[in-house]
Amino acid sequence: MSNYKLGLEYAQQQDQNDNLSAYRDQFHIPKDNHGNELIYMTGNSLGLQPKITKSYINQELEDWANLGVEGHTEGKNPWLHYHEFLTETMASIVGAKPLEVVVMNSLTANLHFMMVSFYKPTPKRYKILIEADAFPSDKYAVESQLRHHGYDDKDGLILWKAREGEELANYDDLETILKQQGDEIALVMIGGVNYYTGQFFDLKRITQLGHSYGCMVGFDCAHGAGNVPLNLHDSGADFAVWCSYKYLNSGPGSLSGAFVHERHAYRKDLNRFTGWWSHNKTTRFRMRDDFDQLPGAEGWQLSNPPILSMAAIRASLDVFAAAGFDKLCQKSKQLTGYFEFLLNQLDNSDIKIITPSNPDERGCQLSIQVKNADKSLHTKLTEAGIITDWREPDVIRCAPVPLYNSFKDVYGFVERLKTILN
């Protein structure tokens, strides 16, 4: 769909023709003090709450109240196996096999647990390659892993930088880095979708390149899961991690997901941290057995999971399953393409979209760079009823999420931005 048009009537018509538009009513949309719905463009930071989430959590609260510890086996959704209720839909969203996926821990904790297994430095091969503008937590995590293993974090960290005067990372530069230093790099760890620019990297290309030089390859898909088709299994990546509170709408600070490729599923030689939830389910409660590792991603679990957080994730995943992730990705391209069209029609030399214009190289996020702007622009947008995300020094990150944002939202955003800029 590329024949976009100007005007409110066109946006309203697109919403009427959108067969996913009804899902908006399944979410709580924040309102201003006068009861008017805000234009919420921050699903890339915190997704909105599905209306069914409360009932999913309440079910577990009721079982806890009525059954106590027996809720582990006698509850409507027995807690003992609760994480398994999430696996199939989550695996479908990230393009993996159920064996390869588990929901557990928080994002950076999972990144560390994965690096315990997949960052195996030697005196010759110890460096870690990340993109230069990676999410800060990723950079801090890999730096601390280098220090933990006795290496200097400045010497051991290699940054894949955008070229001078450009915002997007270039694959030719990545190839050059690996040609020059590939035999020194133990791990390539990239954000699947860059949090700042919104660039969606070619995971398969990066994985094949890294593997060709003997590197392990992993991805932080926090800004990709629920946003773009990650196809993690086909990418061949060794591991991936992601949070669930952005596009997956599970609530602030909710649990993370982890992917481990099936070729590692039965490897007992991989170093890892373990706990009783990574032990064989059939003998877990005998309490006297030597450790017997579970196969697949479940074998990286440590503890029994927080059920209330998982209930919120389950609610959102059920909405995804009903809508269909492929359909959501299709709508996302239409909605974001329309957003890009309207921004370009402003014909304002102070505005620059730094997100790739190729729909296959981005998700729904557009990062808008505004020349000579400061955070006061973000404040004015907020006062105009628009919830966006400001990133220093001069970028507004905006995400028209296909589950609950409308074409009318996009139209309203650009009209209000135009008024503020003028």
How far, in Å, CA of 79 to CA of 84, rounded?
Answer: 10
CB within 8 A of 241, min separation 6: which ones? 107, 110, 111, 114, 218, 219, 220, 221, 222, 256, 257, 258, 259
Residues of the chain with CATH 3.90.1150.10: 8-48+324-421
Location of structure tokens 């509850």? 75
The answer to whether the peptide bond before residue 393 is cis (omega within 30 degrees of 0) is: yes
Q: Residue 258 half-sphere exposure, CB side, CA atoms within 13 Å? A: 26
DSSP secondary-structure letter at 21? G
Fold topology of 8-48+324-421: Aspartate Aminotransferase, domain 1 (3.90.1150)
Q: pLDDT at position 309, please?
A: 98
Q: Contact at 8 Å (CB) between 138 and 130?
A: yes
How far, in Å, CA of 182 to CA of 313, rounded?
Answer: 39
**Coil/strand/helix, residue 187:** strand
How far, in Å, CA of 111 to CA of 46, rounded?
Answer: 20
How far, in Å, CA of 50 to CA of 24, rounded?
Answer: 9
- What is the chain's pLDDT, residue by residue, as a tens digit (422 residues)? 568 999 999 999 999 999 999 999 999 999 999 999 999 999 999 999 999 999 999 999 999 999 999 999 999 999 999 999 999 999 999 999 999 999 999 999 999 999 999 999 999 999 999 999 999 999 999 999 999 999 999 999 999 999 999 999 999 999 999 999 999 999 999 999 999 999 999 999 999 999 999 999 999 999 999 999 999 999 999 999 999 999 999 999 999 999 999 999 999 999 999 999 999 898 888 888 789 999 999 999 999 999 999 999 999 999 999 999 999 999 999 999 999 999 999 989 999 999 999 999 999 999 999 998 888 999 999 999 999 999 988 999 999 999 999 999 999 999 999 999 98
Q: pLDDT at position 40, please?
A: 98
Q: pLDDT at position 286, please?
A: 87
β-pair partners for 4: none
Instruction: Report the amino acid identity of residue 238.
Output: D
Q: pLDDT at position 287, please?
A: 81
Q: Contact at 8 Å (CB) between 368 and 348?
A: no
Domain 83-304 in CATH 3.40.50.920? The answer is no
How far, in Å, CA of 110 to CA of 302, rounded?
Answer: 11
Instruction: Report the amino acid identity of residue 386.
Output: I
Look up residue 194 and give its two tokens. Answer: 């860059």
How far, in Å, CA of 130 to CA of 55, rounded?
Answer: 41
- Rounded to the nearest 10 degrees, what angle do helices 325-345 and 407-421 cross at? 30
User: Which pTM does this prediction carry?
Assistant: 0.96
Residue 323, H or E segment:
helix 307-323
List the one residue out of 337, 340, 142, 359 whose CA is nearest residue 229.
359
Q: pLDDT at position 55, please?
A: 98
